[in-house]
Amino acid sequence: MDARATVAGSAGHLCDACGLSPAVAAAACRRCACDRKLPPSIAGRIRHPRSLRPEGDAHFGAWLPHPHGCAPDDSLGDFGILPFRRARTIHAHLGGRFSMRAEREVRTEARRRWWGGMSAMLVLLGLLPLPGCRRQEDAHTLVLAIEAPPLTFDPRGPTNAVTARLQQLLFNTLTQKDERFEIVPELAESWEVSEDFTIYTFRLRRGVRFHDGRELTARDVAYTFNTLIAPTFDSPKRAALSKLERVEPVDAHTVVFRCREPYRGLLVDLIAIGIIPENSGETVARQPIGTGPFRFVRYVENQEVELLAFPEHFRGAPRLRRLRVKIVRDPTTLALELLGGTVHLAVNAQLSPDFVAEQQAGRRLRVVISDGAALEYIGINTTDPILRDRRVRQALAYGIDRRAIIANLLRGQARLAKSVLPPTHWAYHETTKTYEYDPARARRLLDEAGYRDPDGEGPQPRFRLTLKTSSAEHPRKIATALQEQLRALGIELHIQSFEFQTFLNDINTGNFQLFFLRQIGANQFTDIFKAAFGSRSIPNDPTIRESERTGFLNRARYRNPHLDALIERAEATSDRAEQRALYARIQEILAEDVPWITLWYPANVALMNPRVRVPAIPASGDFHFLKDVDVP
């Protein structure tokens, strides 16, 4: 049976000219594939579902049905999607509540049927190859999707996750991290540190070349950092390197970093700054030249970055010849491009766990899931009149069924978090207080804190809290699940979602009670303890002198002098066993005080064309692994 017959077989009325079901035809373009208008008698009966509009093709995108199975009524019966209004009615027997498990089952079935119909429709429209057909692409060329454009190509400039990972392909850094998040050499071959941590002497790897053929020297390293710390250079990274006074080349392969005061975190901070050639000027932001495994070819703004393999890379040439990095903002568009073969690989994209699970069960895409190091957590304002009581914070932690959310909402694509650090970290300590789901204990703690339930099982809450999130779909779904779980404790949770920058401004100024956020990168280093929990790391706190500031991530506004002292001791010693013991104690204190509720570590999820050969993806999610990817 051909694809058209498969689609038509699910419909009641067919177009006389091409045989498409009216629901499919309407979803595609308001016209049939033959470009003839639908008969008015049929077109008049079709009510179109809520849609997402992918960028770049307004006509086609305007009528794409929403893949999440949410239709305003039963008008999608022909298309094979079960509307949620009807599903909620079907599941009314579950105590009158549409449970998380029930919703997951309905969503799974709706998506399965949606993608089945959509795949057939795409075949008809020529956007998806028929099974068994192979799309002809250039050998050793990979099309990688990212969700946003880079902020800059200058490794000294502002950054975010997308920007940093793209720069990993173009540049190398003096230091790097291994799979246990230990600091290891990269462009530096070795280093020596003075006893007071004010002088660092690096010996550079020999034979390293920039993409224009020049050899890397100490003068390039000095230029990179001296221009970055200059008062005239505007970059957040300059503030991070405020303790660095100057960088001096000693000879061609030796360079000295001189610091104003002890700078124990320098080796970690160097990981974020790629080395550029001397006298690069402002052109590096548009035409970057580095020493990385790929060299820059062109950037079509907000559309695509094109890179070519650099065969003279000091660690060997990449397997790929060409890498196209395509910017695809909309998750639905990305899903269709993956299925259609116009995107070969997406790593940790904003695709729903349900879609990922469906592709695991199918054959069109290959799915690789591995343990990740990022952390999703709830930040708690420890100065709030209700939340400053540690018993209330502990009750919230006991009242959240994290395992249920991981199993049902995240489809198993995460691991339970028992620390701020990832489990593979050299300093990781699984705390004794792990907050397994215990609603009875949560209620006792709330009672002890003086927040008794005023009417037992009645509608009156113990108190009300507000959880702030960004407006993205994932945090809003998590917030809704948390709202339902905390309601069982007698806590009324209000959800407020904002555009990301507005959300970030609120949590940085303390304008919140609870917030949900993902931590990417910072929790890979022990510096996170000072930056996120140190008393002098509270953002926008006028009582902290900028000269004494130790970070900006303590949005929980948490203060603990004993913890501060332990962090200082851990940073001051070079004895690794002593450091482990101190960091274990620090993690125990944070588990007891609960400035954050550590939820889970999201998995690294890669969806790819079956032709793509991908090695193990590191827990960090960094793009270094792309050097070893191939498309034969």
Distance CA 81, CA 64 (A): 13
Query: Per-residue pLDDT tens for 504-529?
Result: 999 999 999 999 999 999 999 999 99
**Are 591 and 411 contacting, i.e. CB atoms less than 8 angstroms apart?**
no
Query: Per-residue pLDDT tens for 248-268?
Result: 999 999 999 999 999 999 999
What number is the average pLDDT over the span 53-70? 32
Q: 2 or 232: which carries more pLDDT confidence?
A: 232
- 34 φ, ψ (degrees, to nearest 5): -80, 0
Nearest to 352 by CA among 69, 68, 54, 87: 68
Query: At residue 89, does pLDDT exceed 80?
Result: no
**pLDDT band at 61, cuts 50/70/90?**
very low
What number is the average pLDDT over the span 47-72? 33
Query: At residue 92, does pLDDT exceed 90?
Result: no
**Are 253 and 206 contacting, i.e. CB atoms less than 8 angstroms apart?**
yes
Choose the weakest-confidence range: 97-106, 127-136, 410-419, 465-474.
127-136
Q: 276 CB contacts (<8 Å, ≥6 apart)?
A: 154, 155, 156, 171, 220, 223, 224, 284, 288, 289, 290
Query: Per-residue pLDDT tens for 528-539?
Result: 999 999 999 999
**pLDDT band at 500, cuts 50/70/90?**
very high
What residues does CATH 3.40.190.10 cover in the chain? 301-372+604-628
Instruction: Please tell me the predicted confidence (pLDDT) of residue 459.
Output: 83
What residues does CATH 3.10.105.10 cover in the chain? 375-602
In the sheet that holds 604-608, the strands lie side by side as 294-300, 304-309, 322-327, 141-146, 345-347, 604-608, 366-370
What number is the average pLDDT over the span 450-473? 92
Query: At residue 55, does pLDDT exceed 50?
Result: no
Instruction: Please tell me the predicted confidence (pLDDT) of residue 457.
Output: 74
Residue 27 Cα distances to 4, 32, 68, 160, 568, angstroms: 15, 10, 15, 36, 61
Task: Output the six-digit token pair for 309.
Answer: 């393999």
Query: At residue 417, does pLDDT exceed 90?
Result: yes
Q: 555 or 25: which carries more pLDDT confidence?
A: 555
* CATH 3.40.640.10 is the classification of domain 173-283: no
Q: 165 or 457: which carries more pLDDT confidence?
A: 165
Q: Provide the whole-model pTM.
A: 0.79
What number is the average pLDDT over the span 328-354? 96
Q: 366 or 128: which carries more pLDDT confidence?
A: 366
Instruction: Please tell me the predicted confidence (pLDDT) of residue 128.
Output: 52
Instruction: Please tell me the predicted confidence (pLDDT) of residue 175.
Output: 99
For 241-399, where are the alpha helices, taking DSSP H only?
266-269, 331-340, 353-361, 390-398
Phi-psi region of 352 (alpha: psi -120 to 50; beta: other; left: phi over 0): beta
Query: At residue 2, does pLDDT exceed 50?
Result: no
Q: 478 or 101: which carries more pLDDT confidence?
A: 478
Choose the weakest-confidence range: 109-123, 202-216, 312-326, 609-623.
109-123
* CATH 3.40.190.10 is the classification of domain 301-372+604-628: yes
Superfamily of domain 375-602: Dipeptide-binding Protein; Domain 3 (3.10.105.10)
Phi-psi region of 551 (alpha: psi -120 to 50; beta: other; left: phi over 0): left
Exposed, middle or buried: residue 201 (CB in 10 Å: 0-12, 13-18, 19+)? Answer: middle
Nearest to 509 by CA among 555, 549, 551, 550: 555
What number is the average pLDDT over the span 136-144? 83
Q: How many residues does the chain have?
A: 632
Share of the chain above pLDDT 70, in %: 78
What residues does CATH 3.90.76.10 cover in the chain? 173-283
Query: At residue 40, does pLDDT exceed 80?
Result: no
Q: 467 or 25: which carries more pLDDT confidence?
A: 467
Instruction: Please tell me the predicted confidence (pLDDT) of residue 102.
Output: 52
**pLDDT band at 431, cuts 50/70/90?**
confident
565: enclosing H helix or E strand: helix 561-572
